[in-house]
């Protein structure tokens, strides 16, 4: 592609997202910052994603589509987009989400002023097809002001089934410079953003959090992040294991956080085993697994608590 390089490359992995893509594309094209390219890496969709992107873009040359012959997952799709991205900043954006018109402009400005390698903003979470009010992902007082996110902060937030939302849900804007030589792990179907950011922080990248919720995160039944399976947990454990040498050189707080993160993944594996045993009516095996891993007991109460909460919040 010829012409002046854009300031920002927005990269989007898409698989069968035709339902949400028109609104997502429009939200990018409506940005107050106009020097950008939107690279949609389609992951061998079987729906009419490509047609709806073409319609939503209406010939805008800033929108580019990369096609894949086979489905490889979001990490591989994003890596294909990164390979051709020309921007000085790289903004990760999911094709079922939205962004406020000023998001790119505000984040680039803050990245420059603060000399940040990675910038993340808060999320406004909304549920597809529901009239419930939109809520910020991070509501605690600790996140009501701009702050730097350390490696220890980032890992500590990522424990499975933690009470507070993980920082890995936040959608980063990277400087292209910090991404040189770094790419997504393609064996991760969940947690690929978390893994990449963690590796960058471990190499000394500076990550700035902004409390403004310019990113709009859509919750729906098809979200990959809501479909955690055993193979996903195993992949995350393998990714974490490969970081052991890197983590040995980090501060004690980060190393402790990593130990707790790994422990939570191991507990999640046992929890998955217990649920599978109960579904198969192998109650004895489930009880034995719980006895060997007492941390599973509180997790078994989660579905009951969630159901009670829904009942108490239901309209009369």
Range of 194's domain? 8-226
Contacts of 313 (CB under 8 A, 6+ apart): none
| Rounded Cα gap, residues 189 and 224, in angstroms | 8
Torsion-angle region of 125 (φ positive above 0: left; ψ -120 to 50: alpha; else: beta): beta
Q: What is the pLDDT of residues 225-239, one digit of tens each?
A: 556 788 999 999 999
| Rounded Cα gap, residues 17 and 52, in angstroms | 10
End-of-domain residue from the set 226, 254, 275:
226
Tokens of 106: 């505000």
Judge whether 1 lies within some domain: no
End-of-domain residue from the set 175, 194, 226:
226
The answer to whether the predicted template modeling score (pTM) of the entire model surpasses 0.95 is no
Residues 47 and 170 in one domain: yes
3-state secondary structure of 284: helix
Residues 202 and 244 in one domain: no
Specify whether the CB–CB gap between 137 and 123 falls below 8 A. Answer: yes
Characterize the bridge pairing of strands 173-175 and 207-219: unpaired
End-of-domain residue from the set 226, 255, 282:
226
Cα 239–Cα 245–Cα 249 angle in degrees, nearest 5: 125
Q: Which residues of 297-310 are buried (b: 16+ CB within 10 A; e: fewer)?
A: eebeeeeeeeeeee
Judge whether 2 lies within some domain: no
Residues 44 and 184 in one domain: yes
**Per-residue model confidence as pLDDT tens for the chain (316 residues):** 557 899 999 999 999 999 999 999 999 999 999 999 999 999 999 999 999 999 999 999 999 999 999 999 999 999 999 999 999 999 999 999 999 999 999 999 999 999 999 999 999 999 877 777 899 999 999 999 999 999 999 999 999 887 788 999 999 999 999 999 999 999 998 899 999 999 999 999 999 999 999 999 998 876 545 567 889 999 999 999 999 989 999 999 999 999 999 999 999 888 888 888 888 888 888 788 888 887 887 777 765 445 434 434 444 3
What's the Rg (C-alpha) of the chain? 20
Domain count, the chain: 2
Residues 141 and 251 in one domain: no
**In 10 A of CB 124, how many CB atoms?**
21
Judge whether 82 lies within some domain: yes
Residues 268 and 209 in one domain: no
Judge whether 12 lies within some domain: yes
Characterize the bridge pairing of strands 207-219 and 147-149: antiparallel
Angle formed by the axes of helices 49-57 and 21-29, nearest 10°: 30
Residues 158 and 234 in one domain: no
Specify whether the CB–CB gap between 303 and 296 falls below 8 A. Answer: no
Residues 219 and 236 in one domain: no
pLDDT at 220: 81
Residues 91 and 197 in one domain: yes
């Amino acid at each position: 592609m010829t012409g002046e390089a854009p300031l920002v490359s927005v990269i989007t992995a898409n698989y069968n997202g035709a339902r949400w893509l028109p609104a997502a594309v429009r939200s990018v094209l409506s940005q107050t910052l106009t020097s950008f390219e939107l690279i949609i890496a389609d992951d061998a969709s079987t729906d009419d994603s490509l047609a709806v992107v073409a319609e939503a873009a209406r010939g805008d040359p800033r929108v580019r589509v990369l096609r894949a012959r086979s489905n490889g997952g979001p990490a591989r799709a994003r890596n294909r987009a990164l390979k051709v991205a020309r921007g000085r900043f790289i903004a990760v954006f999911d094709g079922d989400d939205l962004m406020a018109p000023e998001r790119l402009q505000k984040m680039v400005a803050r990245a420059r002023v603060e000399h940040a390698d990675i910038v993340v903003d808060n999320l406004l979470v909304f549920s597809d097809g529901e009239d419930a009010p939109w809520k910020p992902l991070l509501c605690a007082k600790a996140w009501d002001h701009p702050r730097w996110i350390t490696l220890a902060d980032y890992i500590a937030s990522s424990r499975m089934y933690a009470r507070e939302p993980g920082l890995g849900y936040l959608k980063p804007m990277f400087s292209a410079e910090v991404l040189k030589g770094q790419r997504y792990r393609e064996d991760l179907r969940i947690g690929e953003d978390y893994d990449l950011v963690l590796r960058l922080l471990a190499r000394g990248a500076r990550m700035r959090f902004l409390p403004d919720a310019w990113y709009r995160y859509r919750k729906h039944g098809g979200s990959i992040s809501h479909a955690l399976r055993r193979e996903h947990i195993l992949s995350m454990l393998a990714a974490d294991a490969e970081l052991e040498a890197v983590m040995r050189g980090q501060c004690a707080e980060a190393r402790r956080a990593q130990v707790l993160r790994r422990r939570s993944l191991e507990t999640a594996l046992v929890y998955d085993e217990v649920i599978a045993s109960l579904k198969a009516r192998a109650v004895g095996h489930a009880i034995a697994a719980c006895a060997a891993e007492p941390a599973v007991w509180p997790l078994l109460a989660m579905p009951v608590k969630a159901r009670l909460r829904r009942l108490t919040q239901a309209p009369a």
